[in-house]
A and B are shown apart, each in its own frame.
Chain A
């Protein structure tokens, strides 16, 4: 039997190799369900169009309203962030839960493979697919309703990337919570999603919220991600960004993107160590 040296199990090459193998595995699983892939695209598109039509019913002229692309842009860009947040928030925790249910989590933690790569691989594929879905739905919306407002792409991309890093951190923290609460994780994920839908206003301007709720929104970094992202892509129409001047929002988004992954991963490791010590890693 060939002996494996420690060098092949540690270091950046080993880490990247583990990440690539794990990502490949996730991709393989996803590609085995093509119906799910197609259905998820249809679903995303339908949700965006349902909410856009609903918004336009309040406009003068209804769906024929002159500023229909503004409403569509607001909903579409908010929805893009909502999709990424939902995916990262739940995918990491869900996959940890899946490994628990399948009885492979304990084995995974006995292997020398990087735990961080294991967590990261869960989102790489989803994020890629979500990105494709978002671009697809934006194109279809443009074809149906008219060209969406699309400005300041580099800054918009920067805000999106920082927001994604931040949501990775939230996802890690949520995975930690899943290890602790197990089956209730699904209900909690739904609760978080709905709290995000209301407090971070991805589908409507913050001006729609009552003052006291807007005060709560201002305490959540993700609200600034939503506000900065859509305001930037919409070319800062009157009243946008709504929560703070753009410079302040950018600082908050950057801090969120840099610090939240560290905090989330720290929380996850802490909970994982607890689960190992208590012997509850494979319990579900």
Chain B
């Protein structure tokens, strides 16, 4: 007879999963370095394009279109939130895919530890890795392009990130469900990553999007994180004028998105278990 694990045991399993992932990635320092460099290079593309096409008026035009002349920080915030979003999607999805491919997913589902506990362990790992990379990348980017990384309300910006990460990681369970169902889903996740980056306004304010697309964009938590951080640091303007209204919307996501995602994930999981799909890949 299997006894249910206690809370302490669950916590222990969760951190064991986190530790395992950390140990694994520590063996690939090149990947970690690239994670810090990529957002800076990525943000530099529109910067260089804009400077060249906008000429001497680039910053003024940028301010007229976005509400801030500090395009370096604006673009770096976009590319680093994108890093956070990508990390979240990929780490959860890749964890499931990796276990599928190595043939250990079936075994995991036979242990008394729930998949949610282990996935939470991966989420903690992803959070540490994503946040460290994003913050380091933002600071290095600001240093390279010589702008002050700490202007504006830094604490409020961090609060937007902290609250926004909860629904963001909630969303990743939907991607986990896609991996369980579709199996070879790398291309789909890759596409979704770009859809979200487009919708959250990675390098532009979502005001430039057509009204229908803008409405869809507002249904994504990353859009609120990006704009919240930009508004707190650069004063580009909150969607509802005041920060607490925008924060309230994010809290709304906190209450709804994780529950909805877990429900979707559980349903797919049950379905896959019943239909002999767990060990297949």
Contact = CB atoms under 8 A, between A and B. Distances in A.
Interface of A: 33, 35-36, 39-40, 42-43, 46-47, 49-51, 53-60, 62-63, 67, 70-71, 74-75, 184, 187, 190-191, 194, 197-198, 201, 203-205, 207-209
Contact of A205 (B52, B186, B187): B52
B45 interface: yes
A198 B48 CA distance: 9
B49 interface: yes
Given A39-B187, A53-B203, A62-B208, A204 B38 contact: no
B198 A74 contact: no
Contact of B34 (A35, A70, A191): A191
Given A53-B203, A62-B65, A62-B208, A204 B49 contact: yes
- The size bracket of the interface on B is 35 or more
Interface string B104-130: 000000000000000000000000000
Given A54-B75, A58-B49, A190-B34, 10 more contacts: A46-B191, A46-B195, A51-B203, A53-B204, A54-B203, A58-B51, A62-B61, A197-B41, A198-B44, A207-B52
Interface of B: 28, 30-31, 34, 37-38, 41, 44-54, 57-58, 61-62, 64-66, 71, 75, 182, 184-188, 190-191, 194-195, 197-198, 202-205, 208
Given A58-B71, A194-B37, A50 B49 contact: no
28 contacts: A35-B182, A35-B185, A36-B184, A39-B191, A42-B194, A42-B195, A51-B46, A54-B45, A54-B203, A55-B46, A55-B50, A56-B208, A57-B50, A57-B61, A58-B58, A59-B61, A63-B208, A71-B49, A187-B28, A187-B30, A197-B45, A198-B44, A203-B46, A203-B48, A204-B46, A204-B49, A208-B49, A209-B48
A75 B45 CA distance: 10
Contacts of B191: 39-40, 42-43, 46
